[in-house]
Amino acid sequence: MPGRETHRPRANGRAVASAAVCALFFAFLAGCAPSREFMLKKSTEIGADKNYVRVLLLNTAERVAVASPARMKISGLSDRRVHYDGKGRSVFFYTEKVKEPVVVESWNSPLSVNGAPYRGAIELHSRMGRLLVVNVLTMDEYLSGVVPCEISSGWNIEALRAQAVAARSYAYYHIMNGTDALFDLNATNRSQVYGGVKVETERTSKAVRDTSGQVVSYNNKPILAFFHSTCGGSTIDNNKVWSGEAREYLRGVRCEYCSQSPHFAWEEMLTLYE
C-alpha cells in the first residue's frame, strides 16, 4: 500500500503470473458449460511485491500469545530494533503494551498464534483498543492453507488445481484492489477460509505447487473469482446480488453440473406475515 512499509523479504523485478484462462476455470467459477471460446493463454504481470499476502487472523483480541519451537525475533516495524530473541517460548502481547506495529519472525519454523500454527511472519497492530493480528506469508504458503478449507482434499486433482487457481485469482484481486492499509484478506469466509498449517494436506499443497503463478484474468488483470459449491441450476449477474459495477465475466448462466449435490434443490416455508 502507498505510504506504508510492510515487512517482506526484498524482491527485485516483476513476477509474471501465467493467466490460464481456460474453460475449466470458467466452468468452476461461473457454472457454465466448457467452451473452446475461452481456451486462451496469456500472461498477466503482477508486481513482485504482490507475492506476499497479509491475512487478518484476529481483530478483537486484548491478549495474544505467539510461540515457536525455534528462535524468534520481535522487532518494531518503524526502526527494526530487536526487542526479544529467544527460543521455544511463548511471548504474550497486550493491547496496552503494543504502542507501535510489531513483527514476529521465526527461524525455519511456523509461528503459533494462541496455539494455531502459521507460516511466515506475524504482525501486531493496535486499533481502537484491540489487537489486530496479521499473518504475512507468500502466496503459495497462503493458498496451502486455503484450498483444503474450500474443497475436499480427496477430490480429483484437476478439481483441486482449479480451486487453487480460483483462490489465487481471488487473492491477487484483493491485494491489488484492497482498501485497508493493514491487511489484504480475512481468514474467514468474509474473504476465503484460511486455516494455516494445521489444515494443509499433501494433495492440496501439490495442487498449489502445480499451478504456481497461474491466475484467471480479464483485460490483463486478475478477476474477482467468486466460487461456490452449488448454484441450484443457474447463476445470476453479479450486480443483481452485490452492489457495484456489472462485470462481463460474472454474467448469469444455466448450469446443471451441481445437480447431484444434496443442496441443489431446497425449499423453505414462509408464513403470510413473513
- Which pLDDT belongs to residue 49? 57
What's the rounded mean pLDDT across residues 198-217? Answer: 96
Number of domains within the chain: 3
Structural domain includes residue 190: yes
Domain end residue (candidates: 139, 172, 187) = 139
**In terms of domains, do 164 and 218 share one?**
yes
Residue of 58, 131, 136 lying closest to 99 (CA atoms): 131
Please state the φ and ψ torsions of residue 30, each to the nearest 5 degrees. -110, -5
Residues forming beta bridges with residue 137, ordered by sequence position = 53
How does pLDDT run across 42-91, given as a tens digit for each residue? 555 565 556 899 999 999 888 999 999 888 888 875 555 555 655 667 88
- CA dist 4 and 199 (Å) reads 31
Higher pLDDT, 207 or 229: 207
pLDDT of residue 72: 87
Q: Average pLDDT of 87-100?
A: 80
Please state, rounded to an integer, the average pLDDT across all residues of the chain.
Answer: 81
Per-residue pLDDT, 147:
98
pLDDT above 90: residue 162: yes
- Separation CA 190–CA 52 (nearest Å): 19
Res 168: pLDDT:
96
Out of 92-106, 163-177, 245-259, give the one with best mean pLDDT. 163-177
Same-domain pairing of 130 and 60: yes
* Overall average pLDDT of the 184-213 stretch: 97
Is there a single domain that holds both residue 90 and residue 131?
Answer: yes
Residues 106-150 have pLDDT tens digits of 888 999 999 999 999 999 998 888 999 999 999 999 999 999 999
Whether the Cβ atoms of residue 162 and residue 137 lie closer than 8 Å to each other: no
SS (H, E, C) the chain: CCCCCCCCCCCCCEEEEEEEECHHHHHHHHCCCCCHHHCEEEEEEEEHHHHEEEEEEEEEECEEEEECCCEEEEEECCCCCEEEEEECCEEEEEHHHCCCCEEEEECCCCEEECCEEECCEEEEEEECCEEEEEEEEEHHHHHHCCHHHHCCCCCCHHHHHHHHHHHHHHHHHHHHHCCCCCCCEECCCCCCCCCHHHHCCHHHHHHHHHCCCEECEECCEECCCCCCCCCCCECCCHHHCCCCCCCCCCCCCECCCCCCCCCCCCCCCCCCCC
- CA dist 109 and 72 (Å) reads 9
Determine the pLDDT at residue 96.
80
As a whole number of angstroms, the distance between CA 262 and CA 274 comes to: 26
One domain for residues 85 and 109: yes
Q: For residue 2, is pLDDT > 80?
A: no
Q: CA 67 → CA 71, 86, 167, 176, distances in Å? A: 9, 10, 28, 31
Percent of the chain with pLDDT over 90: 43
Domain extent for 28: 14-50+151-228
Q: Are residues 176 and 211 in the same domain?
A: yes
Question: What integer pLDDT is reported at residue 225 of this predicted model?
Answer: 87
Mean pLDDT of 23-31: 40
Domain boundary among 75, 104, 139: 139
The last residue of one of the domains, among 86, 117, 139, is 139
Examine the domain organization and report whether 211 and 161 are in the same domain: yes
| Band (9; pLDDT cuts 50, 70, 90) | very low
Residues 45 and 104 in one domain: no
